[in-house]
Amino acid sequence: MTGKDKSVVLWSIQDHISGGSIVKQNKPGEGNDKTAEGPSVGPRGIFCGHEDTVEDVAFCPSSAQEFCSVGDDSCLILWDARVGTGPTIKVEKAHDADLHCVDWNPHDDNLILTGFVSIHVSFSFALLALKSDLSADNTVRMFDRRNLTSNGVGSPIYKFEGHRAAVLCVQWSPDESSVFGSSAEDGLLNIWDYDKVGKKVERPSKSPSTPAGLFFQHAGHRDKVVDFHWNASDPWTVVSVSDDCDSTGGGGTLQIWRMSDLIYRPEEEVLAELEKFKSHVISCASKP
């Protein structure tokens, strides 16, 4: 759990089920607080180390006692509840400004993704208006927890550059260890494959301006994509949500969509299938 109090709070639903860590059992009619109608469960730990609002947390896939967090202080912090409530590793400058989202790779617990939020500041003095745009690169950064910092400054193993606005959500694919998605205020949901970064062989039709690792963009939303989630039971299926306040004056849109398998299957396999389809079409067209 994250919050504006700059702390990360660890809870367990099991404490309520088992009756452990219960702080108080209120009697019927006691107190005016509606939240005081049942038992109160205390936190397992309050972890302090951020200097500004904590925006997101993610558990290590191999340990319920290890987790990481990011916040408006530009920090990425790793925690281990087994050794105390202080940071085990603190990356003080993971990005150049606010960090909004983080996710831990479920297939490789050394890899962590972080998403960056742009900052726009305007200053006005009487008749003179000075506008300073402090927005940075809107990147998604990948860190290896075995080598997170260099003198406290974040040392990502790669920066994924493809969004034109603040990144609001990042999430690894539950099926492919090198694939992840990122959504942003530019209305796009990008699908990336880290294994494709640095490869010399590219499809002839691929634009030279396409960011490295980017192989699909979902552009069906009309406004900023605030959240999305992979379907763990149906590979390559995604649910995404946009906040359409800026374009429609209110409300939001939920979309459930799936990529064509021609996009993510091996290129040789796809080309062979398309060649068979081409031959079939030609043979059908030649018939009287």
Fold classification of 42-262 (topology level): Methylamine Dehydrogenase; Chain H (2.130.10)
Give the model confidence (pLDDT) of 103-142 as tens digits. 999 999 999 999 987 554 333 322 222 333 444 568 999 9
Which residue's entry shows tokens 């809870």? 11
CB-CB contact of 120 with 133 (8 Å):
yes
Are 39 and 22 in contact by the 8 Å Cβ rule? The answer is yes
Instruction: Tell me the domain boundaries of the chain.
Output: 42-262
Tell me the backbone φ, ψ of residue 15, rounded to 5 degrees.
Answer: -65, -35
- Position 198 confidence tier, pLDDT thresholds 50, 70, 90: confident
Q: In the predicted model, what is the mean pLDDT of residues 59-65? A: 95
Local structure of 56: helix, strand or coil:
strand
The whole-model pTM stands at 0.80
Phi, psi of 118 (to 5 degrees): -70, 155
139-159 pLDDT, tens digit per residue, is: 999 999 998 876 667 789 999
Of 144, 53, 152, the closest CA to residue 94 belongs to 152
